Structure 1
Amino acid sequence: MKHKIFTALLSGTLLFSSCSKLLDVKSHSAVATNTLSAADVESFLTGIYNRVQNAPGAESYIIFDLVGGNLINSGATTDGGINTFISNILRPENGLISTSWNGYYAALYQVNNLLEATTVLPESTRKNEIRGIAHFFRGYIYYNLVTRWGGVPILEKNTQEKVSRNTAAEVWSFIENELQVAIENAPAYASGGYNFVSGIAAKALMARVKLAQGKAGEAGVLAEEVITSNLFGLDDFEKIFRSQQNAETIFSFKNLTIESSINISTLFYTYAHPVKGSYVYRPTNESMNLFDASDKRGPVSVDTYQGLNVINKYPSGQSGTDPLIVIRLAEMYLISAEANGLSGLARLNELRTTRGLAAINPGGEADYLNAVLLERRREFLGEGFRWYDLVRLKRTTTDLGLAAREAKFPLPMNELALNNLLTQNDLY
């Protein structure tokens, strides 16, 4: 980032190793938030985009694929060890668990700083917009926290005190309140401006949040409002994941190489591949077989190179970074389809037709829900949806064979050691 103020504001939190330490440490080089000018706050906002994007780590974006049966370690010769693979990730001492927990709270620390900084600014439309963006990010951070761990500490202001967990219901309510502020105050969407938070992006995220809680009616209404806004349209799948301007993305992180540590593609490609990579994870055979020959998503989603199966949505390898799609219109179609049951079949078939598949006509609600879930799995492979789709529908045991406790992540072991007010999730 070019802004000196951004560097100063973030320097104190780049190396935090835990949420508890994060709450206790103040940067000696940070600029006091009550001395920031309007220009400083704009630079701080640029830093917030960077922090929310980078702090949780690359695997935070695909972890629901890792524990949802879509991916397995590349060294596995068969998929028979998928449950062991998932259980090894869902351990309190696993680094992926602590990295994402620490990262989300590190990002939250700076979002809270931004909100504090804006209190000294004179009233203006732009001040309200910046606060709307900050509330969007706070809602987004807490969505990622609650879907992994359930109830977590809600921090509306940074504190040096130890904190206990709020209930999951309290966290969901907090998220809804944050997104409502964002809907009302974040900037209007500008054509092609999907790398910036907007009010309509907050509404789309709210639709996801409502569906996650089983509030199908509200989720369906919100999704339809986004679809019928005429701001977006289903687009060529390749454009979405090949850094091309497209009509489908609602919000994404641009994830430029110069400012990003998130290079997901190196986890998927082999060193023998033209873009090179470390080939840490591969798609399961089930994932490779998701796509019919006519499905336009297939070649963009998966590939086989020299006999090795790879996820193909992040094509840069070691040569660069790829956009991180947070919300896109296809999700709204599938939220509307699921929320409305069989009466939402038209939305499901509209998406299928756009992707090159024939329309379907399921015989009942159960078959229809299975069809929607299958379409979600195809559509969002490698984008971090699968595990929580099964969690929210209480299907992790029946569909994946997971233990009951594995419908939540364990709290990181080091957090429990540092903060005796935190309690571990059941059965861990």
Structure 2
Amino acid sequence: MFRTYRLAALSMALGASVLFSSCSKELDVTPESAVSPDQINESNVGFFLNGLYRAATPERDNYLINDIRGGNYTWTPLSGNNSAYGRLITGNGVDDGLSYSSSLWKNTYRSIYSANNVIEACDKLGAEGSVKVVKAEASYLRAYLYYQLVTAFGGVPVIVENTTENLPRNTADQVWDQIIKDLDFAIAEAKPLQEATNKRVSKEAATALKARVLLARGNKAEAAQLAQSLIQSSGLSLTADYGSIFRSTAASREVLFAFSNLKTETNLRFSSLFWPYGTTWAGSYFVQPSTEVLESLYTPDDVRGAVNIDTIYNADKTYNVIVSKYWDVQPVIVSRLSEMYLISAEGLPVDQGITYLNELRRIRGVEAFEATDFATPEAYLNAVLEERRRELFSEGFLFFDLVRTGKAVELPNIQNTSQYVLPIPGDQINLSNGMLTQNEGY
């Protein structure tokens, strides 16, 4: 575990802005920018929570890592198969020096320490009334951060009180248990969606993430029950305009929660990974849709295809096929209603689940299934997973969907189940003085 400082793992300025300290081999927090929970009071705790939202907003590549590893993309001539993207796509050269592992580990723990500061401050303030709501939102954000870690690395140190000590890894089950504990508190104490809006954590947002977690843990019936309750009570509905979910996220009737990602603050532009230089949303064009995606993912009548994939023609009559889902700076969606339909479809018996699967397919312009189309439960599961891939394309789901269903080993970049998780960053193992252990196979 990297060394930590009790004052703060991430410094947050009042207002919506956050001051980041540099991070090299250790987490380096200077006294000028560090904040102690003792400095947070009832009048300013909301400002520090705003800073936590910004800190917890996932970085572009970390948000999309499951699409990169899962087969939705291939590299481009600009990035090459020896780049960090190419290594994850091919599976070659993935080791404890992988930049993805290091970035995800450091940035996520930095934000967890900030969440701990806000939660500790709320406890000292009595955690009642509006302060309890702040604690609920911070608890959700901590749960989301640990979800990122456990799905990427397996067991990691669970830190709910900031410390200077090097700590060993907890088991994956213990990490999942902490996630559930934080989400249960958020479900009980956060504001309802109607009041919070989809720009903030709500009871419904926490319930949606819990449904995802339960599905990941194999508790499919309970996950489906939560998902069904949200479909019935959230006040949201599926929209025929698939593109509007991403182009007009704040007003979307499908979005349960999305990080605001303002140009004046976080300013993440996912399109920079996909669009070539000189195009509308000029970027680096480091990955492009894989052959499998282009040839078999979307049928011509599926409205999602035209939103997610496009062909850009250049002045010299050459062209690039791109992931076109993201334009400029957009909110970063965490949960939306269609995921609840897919969880219901997967978690219920086929004769019930197919109703939810077909309702989603119809509104996306795709022909409905009949229960007789599936000779076995496995065939039905494969159909649901394929629908998840279509619907949630480039939203950070694919690889872990294959992991949790035991299918990731069939990918060409995965040789054995040890590679379902990323290597623990080597520099963090060195800094832990032997406390951290490496994942098997690395």
Q: Secondary structure at the match of 1:120?
A: helix
| Residue 76 of structure 2 corresponds to residue 70 of structure 1 | no
Q: In the aligned structure 1, how far is the partner of 2:283 from the partner of 2:332?
A: 18
Kept in 1: contact 2:270–2:327 (CA 8 A): no
Q: Name the counterpart of 2:236.
A: 232
SS across alignment from 2:213: helix
The answer to whether the 8 Å contact 1:90/1:406 transfers is: no
Residue number in structure 2 paired with 1:347: 356
Is 1:327–2:332 an aligned residue pair? no
Paired with 2:30 and 2:349, the residues of 1 have a C-alpha distance of 50
Instruction: Give 3-state SS (helix, strand or coil) of 1:278's partner.
Output: coil
Give 1:264 shift: 1.2
Query: Larger deviation: 197-206 or 395-404?
Result: 395-404
How far apart are 1:225 and its partner, in Å?
0.8
The Cα shift of 1:63 comes to 0.5
2:271–2:327 contact (8 Å) kept in structure 1? yes
Tell me by how many angstroms 1:286 deviates.
Answer: 1.2
CA distance in 2, matches of 1:87, 1:105: 26
Whole-Å separation in 2 of the counterparts to 1:390 and 1:4: 40
Distance in 2 between residues matched to 1:28 and 1:260, nearest whole Å: 22
Partner of 2:322: 310
Aligned-residue offset at 1:271? 1.2
What letter corresponds to residue 75 of structure 2 in structure 1?
N
- Residues 88 and 94, structure 1, Cα contact 8 Å, conserved in 2: no
Q: Deviations over 1:293-315 (max 9, x none)?
A: 11111111111112211111112
Letter in 2 for 1:268: F
Contact 2:276 2:283 in 1 (8 A): yes
Shift of 1:111: 0.3
CA spacing shift, 1:378–1:387, aligned 2, 3 Å = same
State whether residues 186 and 198 of structure 1, in contact with CA within 8 Å, keep that contact through their aligned partners in structure 2: yes
Which residue of structure 1 lines up, in the alignment, with residue 380 of structure 2?
Answer: 368
Which of 371, 382, 397 is matched with 2:394 structurally?
382
The residue number in structure 2 matching 1:421 is: 435
Give the secondary structure class of the aligned counterpart of 2:44.
helix
Does the C-alpha gap of structure 1 residues 123 and 4 become closer, same or farther in structure 2, counting only changes over 3 Å? closer
Q: Is the 8 A contact 1:191 1:231 kept in 2?
A: no
Residue 185 of structure 2 corresponds to: 181
SS state of the match for residue 424, structure 2? Answer: coil
Partners of 2:205 and 2:116 lie apart in 1 by 20
For residue 365 of structure 1, report the CA deviation from its aligned partner: 1.2
1:94, 1:77 → 2: CA distance? Answer: 16
- 1:416 partner letter: I
Q: Which residue of 2 aligns with 1:407?
A: 420
**C-alpha distance in structure 1 between counterparts of 2:175 and 2:213, whole Å:** 11
In 2, Cα distance between equivalents of 1:254 and 1:32: 26
Does the 8 A contact of 2:275 with 2:283 survive in 1?
yes
Report the equivalent of 1:265.
Answer: 271
Change (3 A) 1:112 1:76: same
Partner of 1:308, secondary structure, is strand
Q: Mind listing any 5+ residue stretches in structure 2 that lack a counterpart?
A: 1-11, 314-318
Match of 2:256 in 1: 250
Aligned AA (1:100)? L
How much is the aligned-residue C-alpha RMSD, in angstroms? 2.3
Write the distance in 1 (CA, Å) between the matches of 2:206 and 2:398: 22
C-alpha contact (below 8 Å) 1:62/1:383 kept by paired residues: yes
Is residue 2:367 matched to residue 1:358? Answer: yes
Residue 6 of structure 2 corresponds to which residue in structure 1?
none
Superposed counterparts of 1:161-176, under 5 Å: 161-176=165-180
The residue identity in structure 2 corresponding to 1:97 is: S
Partner of 2:102: 98
Deviation, 1:399, is 4.3
Amino acid of the structure 1 residue aligned with 2:245: I
CA distance in 2, matches of 1:147, 1:17: 24
Which residue type is aligned with residue 334 of structure 2? Answer: V
Contact 1:192–1:246, Cα closer than 8 Å, also in 2: no
2:289 maps to 1:283: yes
Question: How does 1:73-152 map onto structure 2 within 5 Å?
Answer: 73-75=75-77, 85-88=89-92, 90-122=94-126, 124-152=128-156
**TM-score using structure 1 length:** 0.91
How has the CA–CA distance of structure 1 residues 149 and 269 changed in structure 2, closer, same or farther, with 3 Å as cutoff? same
In structure 2, the residue matched to 1:32 is 36
Contact 2:22 2:29 in 1 (8 A): no
SS of the residue 1:37 aligns to: coil
2:8 alignment partner in structure 1: none
- Go from structure 1 to structure 2 and tell me whether the alpha carbon gap of 1:129 and 1:286 turns closer, same or farther (over 3 Å shift): same
Alpha-carbon shift at residue 402 of structure 1 (Å): 1.1
Aligned residues: 414
Alpha carbons of 1:46 and 1:297: their partners in 2 closer, same or farther (altered >3 Å)? same
Aligned amino acid, residue 239 of structure 1: S
Pair 138,378 (structure 1): closer, same or farther in 2 beyond 3 Å = same
Structure 1 contact 109–158 (Cα < 8 Å) conserved: yes
Letter in 2 for 1:59: D
Identity, % of aligned positions: 36
- Deviation string 1:135-194 (CA, Å, 9 cap, x unpaired) is 101111111110010000000111100010000111111111111011001111126810
Q: What CA distance in whole angstroms lies between the structure 2 residues aligned with 1:78 and 1:100?
A: 22
Q: Quote the offset at 1:354 in angstroms.
A: 0.7
Write the distance in 2 (CA, Å) between the matches of 1:103 and 1:66. Answer: 19
Taking the aligned partners of 2:151 and 2:45, their CA distance within structure 1 comes to: 31
Contact 1:233 1:329 (C-alpha < 8 Å) held by counterparts: yes
1:32 counterpart letter in structure 2 = S
